């Protein structure tokens, strides 16, 4: 079983526009602050975060044409409100999203590996049947 660690993969983060209604998510005084910040251009006042854990595979190392393939897993969390990007990246929300994205990536890698091993085994069985 593959279990990559944070230092073995790459992460990226995107701040996305939140579609939910801020009034339904926060108390009145916080809504006023959020609206003020959004009017000033602070996209981190109310946003949805997307964190992606990914592993790039240089297929050139596999004696193929120069190609780069990637396997990834994304996590989303909405209705967030932070003062700025720096405060979000230092938050427990971001740490949890990274952990979840890494867990999802490991699950995906193990699933792909399992499928490849099954296909390989089937190929060996078929080859053996042809020989006898």
The two three-digit tokens of residue 28, written as one number:
């009145």
Whether residue 1 is contained in a domain is answered as no
Q: Report the SS3 class of residue 17.
A: strand
Listed range (8-12, 27-31, 119-123) with the worst mean pLDDT: 119-123
Domain extent at residue 89: 6-131
Q: How many domains does the chain have?
A: 1
Whether residue 70 is contained in a domain is answered as yes
Whether residue 65 is contained in a domain is answered as yes
DSSP 77-103: EEEE--SSHHHHHTSHHHHHHHHHHHH
For 32-44, the pLDDT digits (tens) are: 999 999 999 999 9
Q: 62: which DSSP letter?
A: G
| Mean pLDDT of all residues belonging to the chain | 89
For 62-103, the pLDDT digits (tens) are: 555 555 578 999 999 999 999 999 999 999 999 999 999 999
Whether residue 72 is contained in a domain is answered as yes
**What does pTM read for this prediction?**
0.81
Whether residue 108 is contained in a domain is answered as yes
Whether residue 71 is contained in a domain is answered as yes
Give yes or no for a contact between 85 and 15, defined as CB atoms under 8 angstroms apart: yes
């Amino acid at each position: 079983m593959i279990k990559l660690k944070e230092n073995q993969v790459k992460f990226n983060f995107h701040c996305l526009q939140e579609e939910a209604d801020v009034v339904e998510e926060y108390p009145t005084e916080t809504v006023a602050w959020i609206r003020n910040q959004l009017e000033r251009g602070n996209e981190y006042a109310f946003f949805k975060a997307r964190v992606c854990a990914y592993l790039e595979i240089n297929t050139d190392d596999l004696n193929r044409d120069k190609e780069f393939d990637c396997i990834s897993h994304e996590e989303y969390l909405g209705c967030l409100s932070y003062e700025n990007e720096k405060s979000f990246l230092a938050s427990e929300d971001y740490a949890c999203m990274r952990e979840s994205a890494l867990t999802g990536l490991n699950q995906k890698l193990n699933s792909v590996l399992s499928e490849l091993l099954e296909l390989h085994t089937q190929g060996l069985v078929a080859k053996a049947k042809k020989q006898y």
